[in-house]
A and B are shown apart, each in its own frame.
Chain A
Amino acid sequence: MLGILNGNVYDPMNKINAQEQDIWIRQGRIVSPEAVDLERAKIIDATGLVVMPGGVDIHSHIVGAKVNAGRKFRPEDHRHNVRERTDLTRSGSGYTVPTTYLLGYRYAEMGYTTVMEAATAPLVARHTHEELEDTPILDKGVFITMGNNHFIMKCIRDGKLEQARDYVAWLLGASKGYAIKIVNPGGVENWKWGRNVTELDDEVIGFGINPREIVTTLAWINEELNLPHVPHVHGINLGRSFSARTTMETIAGLEGRAAHFCHLQFFSYGKQKGKLHRSAAAELARAVNENSNVTVDVGQIIFGEATTMTSDGPLQHRLHRETGNKWLNEDIENETGGGIVPVLFKRNNPINSVMWRTGLELFLLIDDPWQVFLTTDHPNGGPFFCYPHVIKLLMDRDFRAQAFERIHRRGRKNALLPELAREYSLYEIAIITRAGPARALGLKNKGHLGLGADADITIYANLEDKEEMFARPKFVIKDGVVVARDGRIVCERPGRTLYVAPPYDPKIEEEIRAHFQESYTISFNNYAISPDHLAFGEMVPCE
């Protein structure tokens, strides 16, 4: 039992804004004081300290086949970034692609307690779950990529949407996934023919359908299955000068159905004279402001090393050709693809400067913090432990202005950013880093401090320098246990893997079996992950 007394509590889900409140914890949950034996409870005196729910990261590439290929591929990333073992903790290495134990520790030390693995192909989901078991402390979930899935595309082609729905339900249970992920719908399949898509109505080779149909079908399925999260969309044309146009078309194409657009910054470019893209953040922000059914995370870039890794096969090949950097590609039978290319984002590079600016403009122009969440699309935009730096850029306009002056002059040309004087408040930061993502994910017991919530709590010193404040919380509590103090782990314990298993008509399994016979190289009987294979799995109901 634990009591956190006299803290300045920020709990936006329950509309608590800097109120001095006590928080009582028993058996890993937040409870009323009557439920606690006050004599035996340990007390943390939080006088003058800021108390928030534990951070929730809605999109990060942390574990699994793609991430581990990134680790193996980049020993240069690890050599100068090492963590020694202690009696309590394992050793580790890595900067943009840290090893699993180190990643768990660093997220926890930063005050984050729930992280979503952004993209896993179902065929290799077992690998993802095995790495998650070696990722301590955090609660996690896995997004399952479906936007180039052959079974689903065949159903769309044949007009068999209920079959597609039952297949998706089966697939989520089989892969122990949390949500539907869509990456470059149709484009990744076309890459297996050496091509891509650039318009929502382009043909997916071999299927006679288009990206628009893939998105709308999966959005419909998401609603039918009552999944806790909405379809999580990495759209077409990432990085292209027409990305803003097609992204807004994709939003419009939803016709009011809910969806989450990830790392929106990478899709917020327009054309201008010359070769440099312009920031189209204003147009995208307007589209988000006008469509309350849409949430986004920004994917802010951080100057420095990054490792791009996505399921977007053709994008990654293009990045390899443009940068000349080494390239991994992985085509995954019947399901998806992907690639990895290291990059270096530089302040004195005009393109990178525009990208940096675009992300910040999105944050400052989207009105409702409940629709915009803080990510760097780790490690594509930059490492997750740079979130405190982004927080400072959002809360301190002078700091932001100084940073703006240091980017390339062509990146500063015609820029909207200097005119945007908005500064995020602590309350709004609490929304974009915990309450908002938790709500968008449908995690009823996370991202808030109301009765019954999981006791995942972060306590900060109220420092002037917001980067320092958010980088080193004074206390981090997970399930009512203090796991970190002053930025260091004091207790290692396992976290949970959250998954969904919506019901489906078992007749679909006959169709799926036939599909496996025809086109897979693993037996249907060996594909699904059984619940007992997850050491700390927890099913989240679909209601």
Chain B
Amino acid sequence: MKTIVENVTCTFCGCLCDDIIVEVEDSRIVRVRRVCANGRGIFVDYDPTPRRPTIAGREVDWHEAIVEAAMILDRADSPLIYGLSSTAVEAQRKAVELADRLGAVIDTTSSVCHGPTGLAMQAVGEPSCTLGEVRNRADLLLFWGCNPAASHLRHFRRYSIMSKGTLTPKGRRDRTVFVIDVRPTASAKVADHFLQLKPDSDFEVLTSLRAIIKGEKIEVEKVGGVPTATLRDLAERMKNCRYGVVFMGMGLTMSRARDHNVRELFNLVCELNQFARFSVMPMRGHGNVAGADQVLTWQSGYPFAVSFARGYPQYGPGEFSAVDMLARREADAALILASDPVAHFPGAASEQLKQIPTIILDPMTNLTTQGAQVVFPTACYGVDATGTSYRMDNVAIRLRPVLPTGRPTDEDVLNQVIEAVKQC
């Protein structure tokens, strides 16, 4: 018997498209419509079959795995909880509670993604908006150091360049699009203007734009490989648009000046608001990394790199962030929730993860599960479990599962680990 479920939300990336249509037959997903190539993999071939947890690769029952996990965490002097970005808020709340109870360090994938964006926002602020303002009002769009054509495949059509809204009935033709990057990406191909910067020159270009907007004279002919005349033209467009939006990504956060780049961009957008309405939006990568920021902030006060070791929350990017903790060998056990650091961390940090006892919660196997001490195969929020995820613009969306829950959720497992730790 076939059922069709509408308004399903895909949790792959920060777009959190909630118009997905999924057809289910005999408890299997047989067809998915409207989803992009990135999201398709979440639904297609998803296997909800119950699987048993493992200890050192050996299948065990749930209770035994919970006790083992609790003992590893309880015995550790400096446990690290990491990840959180691909699970629902319900589980993220439990992860923070566990960290609080243990006196652990807790960090999210933000530290290797938009952590520098958070640092910039804390320094100078951030004028922003929800995606509907982009759809309805924005007539000037900049994509700076990001490549949605590879990472957020429905962004252009659904929210930004092509979307038709109340003041943008002609969609693409009602907008001017700039892509600013160090190489001509697939996103650059759909832009009206592509500005190719020399690597590590975003800061100079941004500070020059700030100066131009303030009426200062730039004496050189090029900045960061871009003709100053081009920058003056861009500045004029920004000052005279109806509503401008800059989307920004890893090109700014991962290159040399990191948070200084983002701070300069945020300053620019703040200052533009004296002339025209302008917003900036970080392109959040994972489906609920925005939720991880929110939950960790509302419970501890800080969005990532938090230590509870003293009995109260302390904020330390560079100190309590996961890569640094691992590089300095300051974590002696780790619980990884909904992420794959062995695939995404610098080699030396991944190696260190393999040297300490690790506990993984994930619906899928990945490079981190391979070396783990305890693996909990959990349900997948948005497919066979309900929960809430937060979109890149921080709008919370309730996930509509399409299959009955096959395995315990991350929330269930963390609850049991918390109880077991209390008994230790």
Using CB atoms and an 8 Å cutoff, list the residues of chain A in contact with chain B: 63, 65, 68-69, 71-75, 77-79, 82-85, 90-94, 97-101, 123-124, 126-127, 130-131, 134, 191-194, 317, 320-321, 326-334, 340, 518-523, 525-526, 529-530, 533
CB distance from A310 to the nearest CB of B (A): 15
List, in ascending order, chain A residues with CB within 8 A of B300's CB.
91-93, 99
The 8 A CB mask of B116-129 against A (1 = contact, 0 = none) is 00100111111111
Contact A192-B165, Cβ < 8 Å, known A92-B301, A130-B89, A331-B130: no
B308/A85 in contact, CB under 8 A: yes
Quick check: B122 and A525 within 8 Å, CB to CB?
A: no
Report the separation of the CA atoms of residues A123 and B148 in the bound assembly, to the nearest whole angstrom.
25
Q: Could you tell me if B273 and A317 are in contact, using CB atoms closer than 8 angstroms?
A: yes
Q: Which residues of B contact A134 (CB under 8 A)?
A: 93, 298-299
Contacts of A331 in B (CB 8 A): 128-130, 133, 277, 279
Complex contact B7–A525 (CB within 8 A): yes
Does residue B97 face the partner (Cβ distance < 8 Å to A)? yes
- Given contacts A134-B93, A333-B132, A519-B135, list 12 more A-B pairs with CB under 8 A: A72-B302, A75-B122, A83-B312, A124-B395, A124-B396, A193-B242, A321-B274, A326-B124, A327-B125, A333-B135, A522-B18, A526-B18
Q: Is the CB of A523 within 8 A of B18?
A: yes
- Residues B127 and A332 in contact, CB atoms below 8 Å apart: no
- The smallest C-beta distance from B108 to any residue of chain A, in angstroms, reads 13
Q: A72-B303, A93-B300 are in contact. Are A79 and B315 (CB under 8 A)?
A: yes
Q: B298, A131: Cβ atoms under 8 Å?
A: yes
B394 at the interface (CB under 8 A from A): yes
Minimal beta-carbon separation of A330 from chain B (angstroms): 6
Partner of A85, one of B303, B312, B394: B312
Contact of B396 among A82, A127, A330, A518 (CB under 8 A): A127
Query: Would you call A330 and B128 a contact (CB within 8 A)?
Result: yes
B129 proximity list for chain A (CB < 8 A): 329-333
Most central of A63, A73, A79, A519 by chain B CB within 10 Å: A73
5 nearest A-B residue pairs (beta carbon): A333-B132, A331-B129, A93-B301, A326-B125, A329-B127
Chain B residues with CB under 8 Å of A100's CB are: 298-299
Q: Are B302 and A127 in contact (CB under 8 A)?
A: no
Residues of A contacting B7 in the complex (Cβ-Cβ under 8 angstroms):
523, 525-526
**Interface residues on chain B, number (Cβ under 8 Å):** 63
Verify A93–B312 contact, CB threshold 8 A: yes
Across-interface contacts of A101 in B (CB, < 8 A): 299
CA distance A518 to B129 in the complex (A): 18
Quick one: which of B6, B118, B277 has the most chain A CB within 10 A? Answer: B277
Chain A: CB-nearest residue to B294? A68
Residues of the B chain whose Cβ atoms lie less than 8 Å from the Cβ of A71: 297-298, 301
Residues of chain B contacted by A320 (CB below 8 angstroms):
125, 270
Q: Indicate if B311 sits at the interface (CB-CB under 8 A).
A: yes
Indicate if the CB atoms of B311 and A84 lie closer than 8 Å. yes
Chain B residues whose C-beta falls within 8 Å of the C-beta of A123 in the assembled complex: 130, 395
Number of A-B contacts (CB under 8 A): 180
Chain A residues with CB below 8 A from B19, complex form: 523
Q: Which of B118, B276, B301, B400 contacts A78 (CB 8 A)?
A: B301
A-side contacts of B276, CB under 8 Å: 194
Q: Is the CB–CB distance between A327 and B270 below 8 Å?
A: yes
The residues of A that contact B159 with a CB separation of less than 8 Å are 521
CB proximity of B81 to chain A, nearest CB, Å: 15
A305 vs chain B, min Cβ distance (A): 15
Given A73-B122, A533-B398, A329-B128 contact (CB < 8 Å): yes
Interface assignment of B189: CB less than 8 Å from any CB of chain A: no
How many Å lie between the Cα of A523 and that of B20 in the bound state? 10
Partner pick for A526 among B242, B293, B301, B400, CB 8 A cutoff: B400
Known A85-B312, A124-B394: A519·B127 in contact at CB below 8 Å: no
B261 CB–A CB distance under 8 Å: no
Smallest CB separation, A410 vs chain B (Å): 30
A170 to B213 CA separation, bound complex (whole angstroms): 45
Decide if B388 is an interface residue (CB 8 Å cutoff): yes
Interface positions, chain B 99-131, Cβ under 8 Å from A, are: 100-101, 118, 121-131
Q: Pick the contact of B302: A75, A334, A523 (CB < 8 A).
A: A75
Ordered by A's residue number, 25 sampled pairs between the chains whose C-beta atoms are within 8 Å are A69-B394, A71-B298, A75-B122, A78-B302, A78-B313, A90-B299, A91-B300, A91-B313, A93-B312, A99-B299, A100-B299, A101-B299, A134-B93, A192-B137, A192-B243, A327-B125, A328-B127, A328-B128, A329-B126, A330-B130, A334-B132, A519-B165, A520-B132, A521-B158, A526-B400
Contact A72 B395 (CB under 8 A): no
Q: Determine whether the beta carbon of B279 is less than 8 Å from that of A329.
A: yes
Q: Which residues of A contact B126 (CB under 8 A)?
A: 73, 328-329
In the assembly, what is the distance between CA of A180 and CA of B404, in Å? Answer: 38
Q: Does B207 touch A at the CB level, under 8 Å? A: no
Among A123, A124, A521, residue most surrounded by chain B Cβ atoms (within 10 Å): A521
User: Least Cβ distance of B313 to chain A in Å?
Assistant: 5
CB distance from B106 to the nearest CB of A (A): 12
Q: Which residues of A contact B132 (CB under 8 A)?
A: 333-334, 519-521
Q: B273 contacts which chain A residues (CB < 8 A)?
A: 194, 317, 329
B390 interface hit (Cβ, 8 Å): yes
A92 touches B137 (CB 8 A): no
CB–CB A328/B130 < 8 A: no
- B164 to nearest A CB, angstroms? 9
Residues on A with beta carbons closer than 8 Å to the beta carbon of B396: 124, 126-127, 130
Contacts of A333 in B (CB 8 A): 129-133, 135-136
Contact with A along B394-417 (1 / 0, CB 8 A): 111110100000000000000000
* Distance A162 CA – B258 CA, assembled complex (angstroms): 53
